[in-house]
Amino acid sequence: MDTVRFILDGKLVEISDVEPTRTVLQYLREDLRRTGSKEGCAEGDCGACTVVIAELTGDELRYRAVNACIQFLPTLDGKALFTVESLKAA
């Protein structure tokens, strides 16, 4: 996938040349310096890296809590992402 587009805090984010195995947690912490989501186990067990992803399913917006340490960045394409920092901004 060449470009990933998603919504973060109500703004469109567009990232080019995304590595398919780069995680959402790596992107948040390394690129955006959003350090509210932590890497605890790096296996998706502890929940320290939990973020919320919203996706349009039919006529409804569906929210899911996911572990950012095992969620690959390209899977955000066409979705909305909410982090702990998003709550502070609201």
Q: Specify the CATH number for the domain of residue 61.
A: 3.10.20.30
Residue 68: which domain range? 3-89
Which strands, in side-by-side order, build the sheet including 3-8?
Answer: 11-16, 3-8, 80-82, 50-57, 60-67
| Structure tokens that stand for 14 in this block | 């567009």
- Please tell me whether the overall predicted TM-score, pTM, comes out greater than 0.85 for this model: yes
**What is the pLDDT tens value at each position of the chain, 90 positions in all?**
689 999 999 999 999 999 999 999 999 999 999 999 999 998 888 999 999 999 999 999 999 999 999 999 999 999 999 999 998 866
Domain count of the chain?
1
pLDDT, one tens digit per residue, over 9-35 is 999 999 999 999 999 999 999 999 999
